[in-house]
Structure 1
Amino acid sequence: MFKKLFKKKETNTDLVTPLTGKVVPLAQVPDEVFSQKMMGDGIAIEPTDKQVVSPIDGEVVDVFKTKHAISFRTDGGAEILIHMGLETVQLDGKGFEIHVTNGQKVKKGDALATFDLDVIKAEGYQTITPIILLNGEEFSLSNAAGEQAVTAGADTLFRIEKK
């Protein structure tokens, strides 16, 4: 019982890929906010499937009202953003279905959302999805996946380490 009480929180963690698709370096994302790392460091995935799963064990911090983005906090304190598509805030939720709520605890691989790639493309938006470390002043990324095909919940996207 006391071991659990005084157990140190793990601050380093591996993120699993939240989407099935192809890994794209952040520098190649056609949106300066992401490619210039204005929001933080990370990586992107060009999805081939509509399912989005949790990349971490932790908590949902914010499901954006427009359903295009979800932020999380790992059990160790790292903050992560999944931004489904580019400029998709303009869709005001069209094509997105969210399966979690603010404050909900999640485990790696839990269903978070589905987004209809065809609807988003038909509306003229790109589906490339940045995954961003928001609190880079406290954490850093390492072991980032290269440009390769990945499967949601199965492959490691990158490692987050406490600075």
Structure 2
Amino acid sequence: MSLAICSPVTGVVVALDDVPDPVFSGRIVGPGLAINPNLTADGNVAALAPVNGTIAKIHPHAYVITTDEGRSVLVHLGLDTVSLGGRGFTLIAGEGETVHAGQAVIAWSPARLETDGLNPIVPVIALEGDDATLEKALPGQNVAAGDELMTWG
């Protein structure tokens, strides 16, 4: 069964090879894509659930949603953002909560991350997935939050 994975943020699609972090570019946690988010001047934006499912794990800077079929998708808000200790992120949903694709999970400011010297890129990873089973949006493509980003066959 095919699973549509939606973009958690608005921005430009980036290939994992171009993410400046070896954990993501090396596909250590799995295959996927990243989004270079639009930097908005109006403060926080919501990072959305990419799939329907249950929040299996949530940190201020990242979350994993597991579908009823057992597939898990990781969304990581920026690089090295664990160093912020949660500052600049507001949890909207909680661990164990059932969410629908497009539902707000965390509020954050990509612009603030960049101002603080951190990369705001957002990797979206098919945990335990196989690159061969993903149909991905093309790098350089603009996507809106909620648009289909990948299909996991």
TM-score, normalising length from structure 1? 0.85
Q: Distance in 1 between matches of 2:33 and 2:96?
A: 25
Q: Are 1:17 and 1:156, in contact at CA under 8 Å, matched by a contact in 2?
A: yes
Q: Establish whether residue 121 from structure 1 lines up as the match of residue 114 from structure 2.
A: yes
Change in 2 beyond 3 A, CA 1:96/1:141: farther
- Work out which of the residue numbers 17, 22, 27 in structure 1 matches 2:12: 22
Look at both structures and tell me which one has the larger radius of gyration over its CA atoms. Answer: 1
- Work out which of the residue numbers 95, 100, 103 in structure 1 matches 2:96: 103
Residue type of the partner of 2:49? S
Q: Establish whether residue 76 from structure 1 lines up as the match of residue 66 from structure 2.
A: no
Q: Distance in 1 between matches of 2:79 and 2:142?
A: 20
**1:6 match:** none
Q: Establish whether residue 87 from structure 1 lines up as the match of residue 77 from structure 2.
A: no
After TM superposition, give the deviation of residue 140 of structure 1 in Å.
Answer: 5.6
After TM superposition, give the deviation of residue 13 of structure 1 in Å.
Answer: 1.0
Gap regions ≥5 residues in structure 1: 1-10
**Structure 1 ranges of 4+ moved more than 2 A:** 139-142
**2:50 match:** 55
Q: Are 1:31 and 1:86, in contact at CA under 8 Å, matched by a contact in 2?
A: yes
Q: Distance in 2 between matches of 1:88 and 1:61?
A: 20
Higher relative contact order (CA 8 A, sep 6+): 2
Gap regions ≥5 residues in structure 2: none
**2:31 match:** 41
Q: Are 1:12 and 1:76, in contact at CA under 8 Å, matched by a contact in 2?
A: no
Q: Distance in 1 between matches of 2:51 and 2:102?
A: 8
- Work out which of the residue numbers 124, 141, 157 in structure 1 matches 2:149: 157
Q: 2:136 is paired with a residue of what secondary structure? A: coil
Q: Are 2:111 and 2:120, in contact at CA under 8 Å, matched by a contact in 1?
A: no
**After the TM superposition, which of the residue ranges 45-54 and 99-108 deviates more from structure 2?**
45-54
Residue type of the partner of 2:100? K
Q: Distance in 2 between matches of 1:24 and 1:141?
A: 18
TM-score, normalising length from structure 2? 0.90
